[in-house]
Structure 1
């Protein structure tokens, strides 16, 4: 059952820290999962979080470091010496250790690496640090189990036992040649049911999914999601097996991408959180608000062009918010579906076919909504049929236009390497507002004349 952190529990911990009752606090936290302890520490003051961290053993605190908020982790790391940080990293897999070292100042990075006791562990961490953090090389771990295709089953089992001591969880057994080039994978069932004298080359499975060190992390996530993989091997430019990526790392990537796309869709241009400073939040939110403001100026200018309509048909202006809102809503709906499809790699076929499909859909939706609008205008508001028909035709036109734009823009952005999530935010809403008003009054002028 999930452990629930209550305000009363936090206050109990704060009281024990204040009274310096270290033993009682240690007993209280003994059976609590490290992720829950990290959540507790995120809610405490810096000094209190440091107190708890220093109280626990390094096997647990190393895992806690990974789960802490960045700001709290930074505070903890600042309070530790290079040797103490190295002791924490010795308990972690290479990918996690590399992530923490990457957050340190340049001078302290070198000090921490020099303090690592396990030389091979240190070499692996340094090797990982040379890769871009958004690639397979940047998120892979060096810990894995690999066997040589020239070994027999007996030798293979002996070697696997030695290698498995350094691997937290064995997802797959990879087969390599004498040059460490990835050849395939080994089924545990085949290993257990085959004679000990049988050569591995006779029983291993040659088909194996893999990624290269420079493959983008989001592409790795897509491949693992598509083929339901718990882990995937990583090879270098020469085809040599250099690491593996596990599902826990991919879950983090998916969450980060989802958060980023959500913020872009909301008109936030940087990766920020609610607890960030006012300055950081302002820098992230202000640019799109400025864009929306200038979009509003353009809308006002467009309305000014059709000022004569106010004198002859003032009723038309009552429907301006409705037209603008429907254009924005339809555009966001269309772009959201396309962005989701692009993210999941489910968008197939040509742009023309996609636009034809969207046109048909928007025509059906627009016709239905326009019919409702005519009836409401006449029977509820008592407007003249000419007004109802004008507004309804304009609504249908705006819905079709917004739907096509909401489909076309994300596809084009994606084609040219720009995050298509940009098209679901204020950009698409503002542009559809402007064009919606322009289309509305253009149609009204054509039908009613003014």
Structure 2
């Protein structure tokens, strides 16, 4: 299959067809186009054109298109649709996607939209999902699944599965529950096909099944599904009753969003923003960390001012200040990035003490190698061995301290329930710059006897 490619020519053609209201041509053109590609097209159209396309195409396709759109585009389209039209789109969606869209609607029309959904069971499931915190397994799950009772025989089970599967897009697993809907295990399709129709499900189901509580954080659900290579995982309430399932496509979204947040935080952006957001939103997201950098720069300048006499006598120390600050920042970011990655993947072994000792040894080795190169260069460059030695020793100590800070800070933040990704950005860089410069000039002052 040839990959879809959005071009200016295609956008112009679609815009012209919409303007001329050539509906049949538009429908034919987009009939075989994947809904994700249609979403890509709509994201580039104006609000009026986008709404026109959504109203023109069948709901079985446009409902999926809505889930793929940028949030601001989707909001504009929904504002141009009636409650009945929105309800028609929600009818075609799985309950988790429908609940997400309902959650974006103005509160004054939510009840009206829900009342227009003809499938009352579908509406009830959507309402049930809305009561969960969006940052929980309950807010992430869908109600569509296939479940059977342990008291049924195989023949009854197959009949019920056929009826349930009509409302499930993909059947990943068959879950077994008791008469109180408590999750008991899962059913192997192979065992179901090779067992007598008179056998009871209680005799053939597999009691071991991984599950998560409705209140579990999405990040923890992602770790479990990744660890055990699960395509779907059942969700149970506080009483152990099966209430939904989370599928791998939802977890991929969680992982992507978490990665984007961590990347922005590491770059010194305090809010979730995109390139197309307003200048004011982008400024609010960036300014706090830039202000921190300004404070750090002023602090570094103040520290250097305290060593003004020494710098005037040994001007070479001033020229190596950027190198010391850069090495401190780089080493700190490297160390913190490794720790944050380990915390995210849940694969850090040993206690904090062992981790700090390991990082100190690693930093010492790297520092000695780099300091050796710097010693030779500075000695040859200036012919002053004592000054070259002072700069090199300072570099070793700065690298060790920066490595320890870069290791300890994310571990400390994680213990306090704060996102450790903060420690991979300007926070760690600025703090290490200040410590690095202070250590550098203090050691130089001691060794040079000033």
Q: Deviation per CA, 1:32-60, whole angstroms, max 9, x where unpaired?
A: 00000001110111111112112101111
Cα distance between partner residues in 1 of 2:8 and 2:201 = 57
Gaps of 5+ in 2: none
Cα distance between partner residues in 2 of 1:443 and 1:360 = 21
Cα distance between partner residues in 1 of 2:198 and 2:36 = 45
- Counterpart of 2:236 in structure 1 is 235
- Measure how far apart 1:188 and its partner are: 0.3
Q: Which moved more, 1:370-379 or 1:185-194?
A: 370-379
3-state SS of paired residue (1:349): coil
Where does structure 1 differ by over 6 angstroms across 4 or more consecutive aligned residues?
A: none
Gaps of 5+ in 1: none
Cα distance between partner residues in 1 of 2:133 and 2:349 = 30
Q: How do 1:11-410 and structure 2 match up within 5 A?
A: 11-379=12-380, 381-410=381-410
- Counterpart of 2:433 in structure 1 is 433
Cα distance between partner residues in 2 of 1:434 and 1:8 = 54
Q: Deviation per CA, 1:199-246, whole angstroms, max 9, x where unpaired?
A: 110110000000000000110011000000000000001100000000
Alignment coverage as a number of residue pairs: 449
Cα distance between partner residues in 1 of 2:21 and 2:130 = 40
- Measure how far apart 1:6 and its partner are: 1.9
Cα distance between partner residues in 2 of 1:363 and 1:263 = 30
- Counterpart of 1:8 in structure 2 is 9
Cα distance between partner residues in 2 of 1:3 and 1:202 = 50
Cα distance between partner residues in 2 of 1:438 and 1:8 = 59
- Counterpart of 1:424 in structure 2 is 424
- Measure how far apart 1:7 and its partner are: 2.1
Cα distance between partner residues in 2 of 1:382 and 1:388 = 8
3-state SS of paired residue (1:297): helix
- Measure how far apart 1:20 and its partner are: 2.5
Q: Deviation per CA, 1:297-342, whole angstroms, max 9, x where unpaired?
A: 1111100111111221111000000000000000000000100100
- Measure how far apart 1:441 and its partner are: 0.2
- Counterpart of 1:413 in structure 2 is 413
TM-score normalized by the length of structure 1: 0.99
Cα distance between partner residues in 1 of 2:430 and 2:135 = 32
